[in-house]
Structure 1
């Protein structure tokens, strides 16, 4: 599976690569940008390792990583990906998303999520899109609830964080049967 380019009038999601990830070095250095993630990206070396891991998962057909370009601000904003791709069961997850502070709460994330959900359900014809979020990350939880995700459960103490904390993970999902209603409701102004 090849990472596509997804684009609308606000955002362009292009394949993340070892050639373009350097556009994200300054953003990745922002303090606490990925505080709820078990990933370390705040040095150039850590970011390169993070990208190499994403690209390895892509080679295994388990991920499709994107670099995010904000067309309104004419600047690279961060990255996101489809991950844990299970083609047999037609399930994938959207996540590993981080965008610079100056791009947050600007509508950029909603545009990204619309493009990704549309691609997952309408092009890939998958049956379910999931999201996993640290239980403490109220902002991200509210964001996925706003786009119509259902909380399906909480995996207690399942991920070891960099600081030694064992986080609990909220599992959210959207089923293909729910997509048309969400698309024509939450995202009605996006197409």
Structure 2
């Protein structure tokens, strides 16, 4: 998977680069990734570490991180990533998605997921896209269900989060043969 800018009328996903640190820093103060996940961006140093880890995974061919630009407001909005890239089995995860306060609930995430799903299925010919979400994070779970993700099971106590809490992960998936129907219905208004 190679870095490419993905965009539509509302969202632009640019390959994440080190200079984007200054664009993400103010947004990172509004987000507690560590509440539900193993990533912590709560300080400038921790955001740099988060980005460094994303770049290392990219170099290993296991991730493709993006910075999110909202064309409606003309501002950077957050970050997202293709991860756990499995080229042999043609499976990829979409996740590590976070948005600043002003962008949550704005419809931007719907456009982001459309761009990523389209790219994964139509350009890269992946067979499956997966999402793993803290079982307690009902907002994110509903968002994935709203775009056609099917709950496939729960991985019990598989990730350590804030306060050394062992979370369980709800595993969702979308198959390539489900994508045409999802695109024609759920994403029918996106250009």
TM-score (norm 1): 0.97
Consecutive unaligned residues in structure 1, runs of 5 or more: none
Query: How far does residue 79 in structure 1 lie from its aligned partner after superposition?
Result: 0.2
Partner of 1:92: 92
Which structure has more relative contact order (CA 8 Å, sep 6+)? It is 2
**1:26-175 aligned within 5 A:** 26-30=26-30, 32=32, 34-175=34-175
8 Å Cα contact 1:93-1:131 kept in structure 2: yes
* Alpha-carbon distance between aligned partners in 1 of 2:31 and 2:65, rounded to the nearest angstrom: 23
SS at match of 1:111: helix
* Alpha-carbon distance between aligned partners in 2 of 1:78 and 1:71, rounded to the nearest angstrom: 13
* Alpha-carbon distance between aligned partners in 2 of 1:21 and 1:181, rounded to the nearest angstrom: 37
8 Å Cα contact 1:39-1:162 kept in structure 2: no
- Flag the 1:33–1:40 CA change in 2: closer, same or farther, 3 A: closer
8 Å Cα contact 1:33-1:100 kept in structure 2: no
* Alpha-carbon distance between aligned partners in 2 of 1:53 and 1:32, rounded to the nearest angstrom: 18
- 1:78-122 per-position Cα deviation (integer Å, ceiling 9, x unaligned): 000000000000000000000001100101000000000000000
SS at match of 1:116: helix
Query: How far does residue 21 in structure 1 lie from its aligned partner after superposition?
Result: 2.2
Query: How far does residue 162 in structure 1 lie from its aligned partner after superposition?
Result: 2.9
* Alpha-carbon distance between aligned partners in 2 of 1:23 and 1:31, rounded to the nearest angstrom: 14
Query: Which moved further from structure 2: 77-86 or 156-165?
Result: 156-165
CA-atom RMSD in angstroms: 1.0
8 Å Cα contact 2:32-2:42 kept in structure 1: no
How many residue pairs get matched?
A: 191
8 Å Cα contact 2:36-2:162 kept in structure 1: no
* Alpha-carbon distance between aligned partners in 1 of 2:51 and 2:9, rounded to the nearest angstrom: 26
- 1:23-71 per-position Cα deviation (integer Å, ceiling 9, x unaligned): 0101101153552121110111110110010011011110000000001
Partner of 1:187: 187
